[in-house]
Amino acid sequence: QKEVEQDPGPLSVPEGAIVSLNCTYSNSAFQYFMWYRQYSRKGPELLMYTYSSGNKEDGRFTAQVDKSSKYISLFIRDSQPSDSATYLCAMSAQTGANNLFFGTGTRLTVIP
Amino acid sequence: EPEVTQTPSHQVTQMGQEVILRCVPISNHLYFYWYRQILGQKVEFLVSFYNNEISEKSEIFDDQFSVERPDGSNFTLKIRSTKLEDSAMYFCASTSGGQGNYGYTFGSGTRLTVV
């Protein structure tokens, strides 16, 4: 049983579009949810993190968590060519010692 | 902004050789991790380290792997006898782990190629 599932894409959108990225998960113990951006051959860079259910907004990025559906989303408004990267969802049951479970990543290309 | 620093950025080694990957976590962080990413695959957890001891490890982290924090700033991953399938990007990460702070910071990675 896969812990975290994420559509690998690739996803291509025109500049200025709204992008929706999603992950589903199976472990109801997950409470901390993160989105990372990863450029080719670089380390994951933390974009957003949320605890439990709800929304969080940071500039053009909005993260949503629906624990009842075991579904998380990342929305990117007014997408820019510089947003082109692989987006990874990650989650854990608790902060600190527990490891992160990652999705496969969705490769996004924003076309100028 | 504080960074996690990893060296070397790329290491090529012959099968059966020992390698040591080095990391300098963010100075006030308390929890340290190694992850790896085989080309085209998921980022996978290897080991977590807290209070100078391993707190959790995955099935991947067998007897060929070891971690150490030798001097209070560096955090190393040793692979004793490398195999071809150890070829991957290895990422070090750290977090303070405090209340309300669960942002893991990753380094840029070491690309290990075993030939």
| Per-residue confidence (pLDDT) for residue A4, from 0 to 100 | 94
Q: How far is A102 from chain B (nearest CA, A)?
A: 6
| Per-residue confidence (pLDDT) for residue B66, from 0 to 100 | 97
Contact B79, B12 (CB under 8 A): no
Could you read off the pLDDT of B61-101 as tens digits, one per residue? 999 999 999 887 899 999 999 999 999 999 999 988 765 55
List the single best residue of B34, B42, B110 to mutate versus A (max A Cβ within 10 A): B42
Q: Which residue of A has its CA nearest to B36?
A: A43
| Per-residue confidence (pLDDT) for residue A98, from 0 to 100 | 67
Name the residue with higher pLDDT: B103 or B105: B105
Residues of A in contact with B44 (CB under 8 A): 102
Where would I find the beta strands (DSSP E) of B28-114? 31-37, 43-50, 53-57, 65-68, 75-79, 88-95, 105-106, 110-114
Residues of A in contact with B48 (CB under 8 A): 97-99
Q: Which of B4, B50, B91 is closest, CB to CB, to A97?
A: B50
Interface of B with A in 6-35 (CB under 8 A): 6, 30-31, 33, 35
Could you read off the pLDDT of A69-91 as tens digits, one per residue? 999 999 999 999 999 999 999 99
| Per-residue confidence (pLDDT) for residue A42, from 0 to 100 | 85
CA A26, chain centre distance (Å): 16
User: What tokens does A95 get?
Assistant: 């902060």
Could you read off the pLDDT of B2-57 as tens digits, one per residue? 899 999 999 999 999 999 999 999 988 888 999 999 988 899 999 999 888 998 89
Q: How far apart are CA B6 and CA A108, in angstroms?
A: 26
Q: How far apart are CA A57 and CA A48, in angstroms?
A: 9
Q: How far apart are CA A9 and CA B83, in angstroms?
A: 31
